[in-house]
Structure 1
Amino acid sequence: MLKAGAADRTYAWLGISSSTTSRSTDLVTSPVISPPFVACIRLTLAVYTFGTALAVLIHDSGESSKHDAGGFFSYFTDLSLIGLTAYFWAAGIQTLAYTLRGEKTYPLQRWPRFLQFLHRLLYSSITTFPIVTTVTYWALLSGADTFATRYNTWSNISEHLLNTVFALFEILFTHCGPSPWSHLIFLIIFLAGYLGVAYITHATEGFYTYSFLDPHKEGPLLAAFIIGIAVGECIVFSAVWGLCYLREWLSRRLRVGAEATGVRSVQAGTREAIDEWEELERPGTPEFEGV
């Protein structure tokens, strides 16, 4: 019993309550879009992000590329895109299953809570990392070659602009979130882990994935860049949390208002019907007595 209670408290801290498996539909519904359209949009974005990742990978394998295909998995931008792809496939399929089953259940509700936690943690990552990637790229990395060719234009728009648009769809138009603050710890750990990937890439392949990670070039500013990105992640996470909270608050207010309006309409209709009956049919009225 003690172990079960400790597990429940741990999962509750991670944003997964014991009732999640039986009642929650926030992962597959929207306050403004029906589940079939949510599924359609998510699967469309899954196809687009997968196609983008595949095209970039193939391009990096070409002779004209400065790096080989192995370098694809060394860039945070590409890893963030893979996260978007994985989430939209997973969330799209869950939403499609929910729709096909008559909006009753979906598979994730019956899966172990650890998998539910991983799904929600993936949501937390794809609603913050793309925004951090977009801000970092346009603030520090964009240059003359950003729009130098058609490929550069398309790939940079897809990976450094549309990625944030896709994240905003999940933030603004679904019932997901706000993510528990405990997820921020994991996201900071992921960012710290990426530093290891970047420096392993330099040690094995001889290049820095991002110029600001070069300690010889940046010197003391390197620490400022690293801390700045971590702080930026905290700010983005807080902003996304606030947007999700505001969206759910507005959704509840609108739903309560609509329900109250519906109740008042029914009550008014019932009262009108009663008044009409009393006026026309009640014994003792002149019309009734003259019949």
Structure 2
Amino acid sequence: MPNALPWLDAAPVLAACAAVAGFLRPRRGTAEVFLVGAGPGDPDLLTVAAVKALGRADVVLYDALVGPGILDLAPKSALRVFVGKRSGAHAMAQEAISALIAARAAAGKVVVRLKGGDPMMFGRAGEEIDHLKARGIPVTVIPGITAALGCAASAGVSLTRRGVAATVHFVTAHRCDAGATPDWSRLADPEGTLCVYMGKEQASAVRGGLLAGGLDPATPVLAIENGTRPDERRVSGPLSALPDLTAALGGGPALIIIGWAVAGAEASSPVSAALAG
């Protein structure tokens, strides 16, 4: 029977599938490291590649922001090592984490370095990659959904909007060099959306800098805690009330979205109406 679709060559598709299968097939005794993005929290948002890599892991080094249930995808026999960093509390120094990854991989273990969100977004992945490459250890990066995209989707808001917001900026309010902060006034773009990672403790500085840069005090703000998780909480209000909004949240990880693209975003806390009034 003649091929009904003579223009379709299946060979490249089959070759790609074979490559993926080979990429995730165990190779005993070889050093293998996967830097895996765990996404914003919901295990259903993991990529297929992430699930497969976790299923092969001998060792999993995981961050504080890894959502519940994700570690369960690793074999029960896998060694789980918490190396999380939260403000003012580091389970392990970055140099020690990199050294541990290299040591386990050099011993022939399949090592999964599990990072919240996307491993290449504010996750120090570059330092770990450099450390491993310097020792001849291959490393594969498996991307994940970064917090800004996951939180925006969960809240049903678009980070860009025709005629309202044409640009998006991702910025972290927490810097490793003491005393250094972003120049918030330069980020005061009324036609853009600003996504602030790790910004709860810097809420006053964020507000002050953006207002000094000319941003309207009425600019909408949406703060999302534990985005995409069952205990997700959202508060919204104007930029002028930003410190009060973040203070109304609990102790979980939070993302702050600032800009007119989130105007009218539905909050999940009664504090929003009071602060907006």
The structure that is helix-richer by fraction is 1
The structure that is strand-richer by fraction is 2
**Is TM more than 0.5 here?**
no
Structure (1 or 2) with the larger CA radius of gyration: 1
Structure 2 length-normalised TM: 0.24
Structure 1 length-normalised TM: 0.24
